[in-house]
Amino acid sequence: MEEKIMFDNPNIGILGLGHVGLPTALGLADIGWNVIGADDLKSKAQDIANGDAPFYEPGLSEMLIKNINSGRFSVASSVEEAIDASDVIFVCVGTPQNDDGSADLSQIENAGRTIAQNSNTNKLVVEKSTTPVSTSLRIKDTLRRYAKENVEFEVAVNPEFLREGTGLYDFFNPDRIVLGVESEAAKNTLLQIYLPLLAQTNPSDISDKEIYEAKSNDKFVITDVNTAELIKHASNSFLATKISFINLVADICEKSGSDVSKVAKGMGLDPRIGSSFLQAGLGFGGYCLPKDIKAFTKIGEDLGVDMSFFREVDNVNIRRVDQIIDKLKGKLWVLRDKTIAVWGIAFKPGTDDIRESPAMALIEKLIEEEVKLNLHDPKAMEEFKRTSLSEYSNIEYFTDPIDSSNNVDAIIIATDWPEFKSVDYKNIKDAMQYPFVLDARNLLNPVEMLDIGFDYIGVGRYS
């Protein structure tokens, strides 16, 4: 049974080697494909070519070195070189947020134009960045506008579902692979690319029959390009909604003397709901959820849909930081000149990414209150030092959380790094000016903390 595909055993290019592009490139190389990556930031590209990962992600450095050494992954000296060497090009560039909440698609447009102007052979261009619905159609127009004579392009959508901190795990253990395509040839080419991941076989061993049968594999969601784009935005907006929902439940729990952790457990056992993203606390952050829910809201509003529901989901999240400040003031009264240890700067454990981190918003509020800050994060300290907030004079940095607690008036756990669970809190208590822990991530056991002698406050939990 012969299945029409665009390219047999294609060379794969990855444009953009950030938190999406680099794990994707290394994952595809690790399952047997020849992958060439490129990034507009030449210093970053050179570091990657030298085997130096540009950000922290568990296992990333080891996999980078492994696939460079195997020869399956290389970094081009320019974007143009990567385009010329590739049959299938995954576009993994940034789509940052405009002031009105919409996605800035200038990098996407530039990638499309650059691909068209530097392609001498036909290409399949795969939109992997998170983009508003109908973006792929605009990419297609751009490719046609700037294409050389007798060069043809097809555009597909393959949204990423990689979580920072578990990006490589997510690549190798996908819960779904969404393929938005306009032709059988594009579909079969992408099925061919991903089959070694699911079948645990080499690319050269994939048969036409296996490509045909893959269409019935429930891991694949095969649809049109617009639907594929909406799947990603709708997914992230729903996850953001779950977090804001449980945070509102936490507020009810605090007023009624209930425990949100037990409410969340009781809810999560229902398979229709599930336990993920039901952790009350400081709120969601990072590069994806805050940006995507705003973009999804703007998409709907531009189409004439009332999106006030999602605007309030975002507003609930924004208010979480102020509520933590109110808790702190409720215990310490005047914050000025108090010394506060903040544990955690990254938006989540397992990464050094501080973009849109609730911890960063919290630190900014504390700076406004003129407190003295002792900061600790297992991975994100250097990233913080590159920001304007680091210019505040009353900041000290600590590589050890225990050292940061000496003579402080409070500890705030702002990121739920698992390392914070194993700290010797008995020794910390005696070293503090006042033994108060504000657990903004509900990481610790409140009963144990009270037994040690701490004044402990979580989110939506009774003591």
Provide the CATH number for the domain around residue 89: 3.40.50.720
pLDDT at 462: 72
pLDDT band of residue 1 (cuts 50, 70, 90) is: very low
The answer to whether residue 101 is domain-embedded is yes
Residue 157's domain comprises: 12-223
With tokens 């849909």, the residue in question is 305
Which of these three, 185, 204, 223, is where a domain ends? Answer: 223
Residue 2 pLDDT > 50, yes or no? Answer: no
> For residue range 348-366, what is the model confidence (pLDDT) as tens digits?
999 999 999 999 999 999 9
CA distance 49 to 31: 19
Closest C-alpha to 292, from 161, 152, 171? 161
What's the pLDDT tens digit per position in 426-452?
Answer: 999 999 999 999 999 999 999 999 999
462 occurs within a structural domain: no
In the chain, how many domains are there?
Answer: 2
Q: Give yes or no: residues 75 and 162 share one domain.
A: yes
pTM tops 0.75 = yes
Catalytic residues: 288
Q: Could you tell me if residue 379 is inside a domain?
A: yes
Is position 2 within any domain?
Answer: no
386 lies in the same domain as 251: yes
Residue 215 tokens read as 């269409």
In a domain, 7, yes or no: no
Tokens of 84: 């010329």
Whether residue 317 contacts residue 250, with contact meaning beta carbons closer than 8 Å, is answered with no
In a domain, 463, yes or no: no
CB 38 within 8 A of CB 13: yes
pLDDT band at 207 (very low <50, low <70, confident <90, very high): confident
Domain C-terminal end among 199, 223, 247: 223
Question: Is the same domain home to 195 and 263?
Answer: no
**Is the domain of 437 the same as that of 359?**
yes
**Per-residue confidence (pLDDT) for residue 463, from 0 to 100:** 54
368 in a structural domain: yes
201 shares a domain with 72: yes
Mean pLDDT of all residues in 195-217: 84
Helical ranges in 200-307 per DSSP H: 208-214, 225-256, 260-268, 289-302
* 438 and 418 in a common domain: yes
What is the tens place of the pLDDT at every residue in 88-131?
999 999 999 999 999 999 999 999 999 999 999 999 999 999 99
| Residue where a domain terminates, one of 189, 223, 257 | 223
Question: Taking all residues of the chain, what is their mean pLDDT, rounded to a whole number?
Answer: 95
Q: Which of 28-32, 204-208, 225-229, 361-365 has the lowest mean pLDDT?
A: 204-208
- Clarify whether residues 431 and 318 are in a common domain: yes
Q: What percent of the chain has pLDDT over 70?
A: 99
The answer, yes or no, to whether residue 63 has pLDDT greater than 70, is yes
